[in-house]
Structure formats: C-alpha cells, structure tokens
C-alpha cells in the first residue's frame, strides 16, 4: 500500500479532489442535472465483465471517474432534484463522511473507537431531543431506515411474544398493523422475521394515505376476535407517497390499551419536528416505543444515515446483546456513553455514521436546521398556491409536509383516465431527458400524479415557476400530439 500514500501524492490528489468539490458545490445549476443517455448506450459504455488485472494509476482512475461516472450520474446538489426523499449532501456532511472513512474504526467496541462511541451516544440523544422524545431517550445509528424498521419490529417481537428469541416464531397468530401505504420495508421486516406477509394487517386510509383511526381500532378488535395476537403497529410520520402523517397520538392510546408495541417510522417526517407544525403532526411521538429518523433527508447527511431511537435505549441491548468473548470483555465493562455500541445492534462492523451529523450540528447549530426546515414549509405553501392558481393543474390532496403531488389536465378536459395517467408519465420523461429537473410519478388510488419532494434547499420559487411553465408547455404539446394521432 505504499503507492499513493506519500506526502506529495496525497497533496496532489487532494488538490484534484478540491477542484471536483468546488465544481460540484459552488455553482450547482451550471451543469445539467443529468446528461441523459439511454440504458443500452450507458451499459455498452460502462459495463466491464472482468476486473482489471493491471492498474492504470490513480490519476487515470480519477479521470475515468470524472468522465465515465460523475458525468453520467444524477447531480443531487442541483435545484431541479426533487426525485427522492433525500437531496444533495451538504459539504460539511461530506467532510464528516470522508473523515469517518479515513478513521475506518468499527464502533462495535469502545476500545476500538473510544471517542466515536461517546459521540454516537451523544448525537443519538440529541436527535431524540430534537424530535421531542422523553428525557433519557437515545439509540443507535444505522445504514438506513429499512434496517431500522426491521430492528424495531424485532424489538417488538422479542418483548411482546414470549420466548420468540429463544424458540423461534411458533406464534402463528402474531400480526403487525400498519397502513396500506406504509413503506415496503415494513412488509419486508414481517417477512424476514418469519411471520409471513399475511401477518401484516393493513388499515384503511384517507385521501392522503393516512390511517383512519376508526378502522385501526376495528382491525385490532377483528384480529382479537379471530384469535390473533396484534403485537405491534407502525405509525408512519411522513408517508412515502404523500408526506402524510398517521394519527400517532390516537394510535398510541389504542396500543397502550391493547398492549401493543408502537413503532414510529419518522424516516422522512422527523424533519417536521423542527418546524412550527410539529404539534399538529408529531404530537404523540413521545409515546412511541421505537422511532426511526433519517438524517440523510431534511438534515442532508450523505446516504444512508439513520438513527433508531427509544425512550428506553437499553431495550436494544436487551434484544441484540451478543455473546462474543473475542470482542466484548467482561473485565472492561462500561456504562453510559462509554457502553459498547455492538451490544445495541446485530451489526458487528459498525461505521461512524454519526460523525457527519455531529459535524453539521457543530458547524451550523440546531437553530439553523429549524430555520431551513421552516423555509421548506414556506416554499411548499407558495408552490401549492401557484399550482392552485393554474387551471390545468390539479392537486392530489392538501399537502402536509414537503411532498407535493399534482397532475396536468388538458385545457378542454377531454381525456379518459388511462390517457391522463400516461400523459403524466410522458411529461415527466420529457423533462427528465432535458436534464432540467428530476421528479417522480406515483399512483394514488389509481390515479397517476407528479410527485415532488421539496426538501432541496436550492429549489425556490425562482426555479419552480419556470418548471411549472415547462410542465404546462410539454403537457400541451403532448396532448396536441395525441389528438393529431
């Protein structure tokens, strides 16, 4: 490993890295969001069946990164990026991720990562406080909320179903309740636990895909009448498709009454806790038994950076505490912020995911993030009003959080449902190919809508108004083309 590790080489390549970072961050809209290339063309250009036997040197490898990879990638730090529930990673967070990678320590044990262990305990506690959870809440950082949701339901299973950790899933009557719009990771978690997907009982929802509390109560009663054991429920705070919020306070009351574990999937919606609408949508999160929140969404940490929280963080230790004397030593017992994090998770190798969040909070302060979150809601309100003021656009619902779904309607209104659905897809693909913007389409109760995630701090009304004009223009052109045929 001597090559590329000398001082002159490191200085030369970090200058190269400086140039890349400056080009990427300083003028975000200078380059297209995407240099569109078809799948077959890109596969032909980049696919390499065999690994290289001879090295070409770091200089040429970096050149290939620029010309082949970066040039053919979506620029997430661009005003037009609204496709995912994450946007570009902020520069301080990228620095944090790079420094964590440089350190390359595992956070399984305090002895391997002493400072990092304390920092992760601290940052998890900070995240719980920002959400409004009870004092003493804390948890662990994980690579993604899909894993977080899975581990939360494993905690629920072990606590609610006697001896399941020791004897396996002989509880054939055990069920989990969630909305029919819950993230697909919940269904995967139920499957991975060995319950079978039919053990996931879905609850009816309103026009924004939020749980109807009357049906939630009725489904619990129905399960009990059928001899089943509803042991857990998932409340989604910030639904994937609509950004809506399940009624967590009312769900918490019912879960307490029926002795059910309540998990709050706040992967996206956790950011609302930083705004003045926290009490409207997040009240009740303090009653959840477990909570997931993604820092790679509203906080702009690099993918993936998730915290799994609990009012009693030692519930994770009770669930996952491994017996590995080659790693964990009785003679080196710690408590509090020096406890081995490997006791709190099934992961052995554990990255320092908390460092980017720590660096951002230290650099900016939590008040800055509150301000940024509030500006996103102001932008949401302004864009919603602009859409309502244009007769050829139709909202899918009144937005709760920065997830906005609407569709284009031809001016004369003469088009069947299937044609209208396909029209939205065509408009989106035309704009995607232009490299000006990237947003998604989704299905809500059989109707196709554009879906824009509005947490990107670079997107303002100055960029949004021209985009609305482009959508309307492309929609009119495509409608005319359809009628000409």
Question: What are the structural domains, with CATH classification, of the chain?
Answer: 98-364 (3.40.640.10), 367-484 (3.90.1150.170)
Mean pLDDT by 10 residues, the chain (485 residues): 87 96 96 93 95 95 97 98 97 98 96 97 99 98 98 96 77 90 97 90 97 99 97 98 98 99 99 98 98 98 98 96 82 80 94 98 98 98 98 97 98 86 98 97 97 98 98 95 76
Please give the Cα distance from 133 to 45 (Å, whole number): 50
- What is the predicted pLDDT for the residue at 82? 99
- What is the predicted pLDDT for the residue at 167? 72
257 with 178: CB under 8 angstroms? no
Phi, psi for residue 453 in degrees, rounded to 5: -95, 120
Q: How many residues does the chain have?
A: 485
114 with 324: CB under 8 angstroms? no
- What is the predicted pLDDT for the residue at 331? 65
Please give the Cα distance from 238 to 39 (Å, whole number): 32
* CB proximity list for 11: less than 8 A, separation 6 or greater: none
SS3 155: helix
For 13, the token pair is 């390549």
Please give the Cα distance from 333 to 475 (Å, whole number): 65
For 70, 140, 345, the CA distances from 307, given in Å and listed in that order, are 29, 6, 12
Instruction: Sort 217 into a burial class: Cβ within 10 Å, 0-12 / 13-18 / 19+.
Output: middle
* CB proximity list for 386: less than 8 A, separation 6 or greater: 461, 464, 465, 468
Instruction: Please give the model's pTM, rounded to 2 decimal places.
Output: 0.96
48 with 56: CB under 8 angstroms? no
The single-letter DSSP state of residue 81 is B
Please give the Cα distance from 484 to 246 (Å, whole number): 45
395 φψ region: left (φ > 0), alpha (ψ -120 to 50), beta (else) = beta
Q: How are beta strands 229-236 and 174-179 bridged, if at all?
A: parallel
């Amino acid at each position: 490993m001597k090559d590329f590790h000398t001082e002159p080489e490191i200085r030369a390549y970090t200058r190269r890295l400086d140039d890349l970072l400056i080009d990427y961050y300083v003028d975000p809209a200078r380059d297209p969001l995407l240099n569109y290339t078809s799948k077959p063309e890109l596969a032909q250009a980049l696919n390499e069946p065999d690994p290289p036997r001879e090295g070409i040197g770091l200089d040429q490898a970096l050149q290939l990164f620029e010309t082949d990879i970066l040039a053919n990638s979506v620029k997430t730090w661009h005003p037009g990026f609204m496709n995912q529930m994450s946007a570009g990673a902020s520069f301080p967070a990228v620095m944090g991720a790079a420094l964590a990678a440089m350190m390359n320590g595992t956070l399984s044990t305090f002895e391997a990562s002493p400072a990092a262990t304390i920092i992760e305990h601290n940052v998890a506690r900070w995240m719980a406080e920002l959400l409004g959870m009870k004092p003493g809440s804390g948890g662990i950082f994980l690579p993604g909320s899909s894993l977080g949701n899975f581990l939360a339901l494993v905690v629920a299973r072990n606590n609610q179903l006697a001896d399941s950790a020791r004897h396996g899933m002989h509880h054939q009557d055990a069920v989990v309740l969630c909305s029919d719009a819950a993230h697909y990771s919940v269904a995967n978690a139920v499957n991975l636990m060995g319950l079978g997907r039919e053990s996931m009982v879905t609850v009816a929802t309103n026009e924004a895909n939020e749980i109807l509390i009357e049906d939630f109560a009725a489904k619990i009663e129905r399960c009990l009448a059928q001899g089943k054991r509803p042991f857990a429920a998932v409340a989604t705070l910030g639904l994937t498709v609509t950004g809506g919020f399940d009624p967590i306070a009312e769900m918490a009351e019912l879960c307490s009454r029926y002795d059910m574990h309540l998990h709050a999937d706040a992967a996206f919606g956790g950011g609302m806790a930083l705004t003045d609408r926290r009490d409207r949508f997040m009240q009740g999160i303090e009653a959840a038994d477990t909570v997931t929140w993604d820092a790679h969404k509203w906080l702009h940490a690099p993918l993936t950076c998730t915290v799994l929280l609990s009012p009693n963080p030692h519930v994770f230790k009770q669930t996952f505490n491994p017996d590995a004397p080659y790693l964990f030593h009785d003679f080196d017992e710690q408590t509090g912020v020096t406890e081995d994090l490997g006791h709190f998770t099934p992961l052995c190798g554990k990255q320092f995911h908390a460092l980017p969040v720590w660096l951002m909070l230290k650099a900016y302060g939590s008040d800055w993030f509150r301000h940024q979150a509030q500006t996103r809601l102001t932008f949401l309100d302004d864009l919603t009003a602009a859409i309502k003021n244009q007769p050829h656009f139709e909202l899918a619902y009144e937005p709760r959080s920065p997830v906005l779904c609407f569709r284009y309607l031809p001016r004369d209104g003469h088009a069947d449902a299937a044609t209208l659905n396909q029209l939205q897809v065509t408009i989106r693909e035309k704009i995607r190919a232009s490299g000006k913007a990237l947003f998604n389409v989704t299905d809500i109760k059989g109707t196709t809508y554009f879906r824009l995630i509005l947490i990107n701090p670079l997107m303002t009304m100055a960029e949004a108004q021209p985009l609305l004009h482009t959508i309307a223009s492309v929609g009119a052109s495509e409608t005319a083309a359809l009628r000409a045929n």
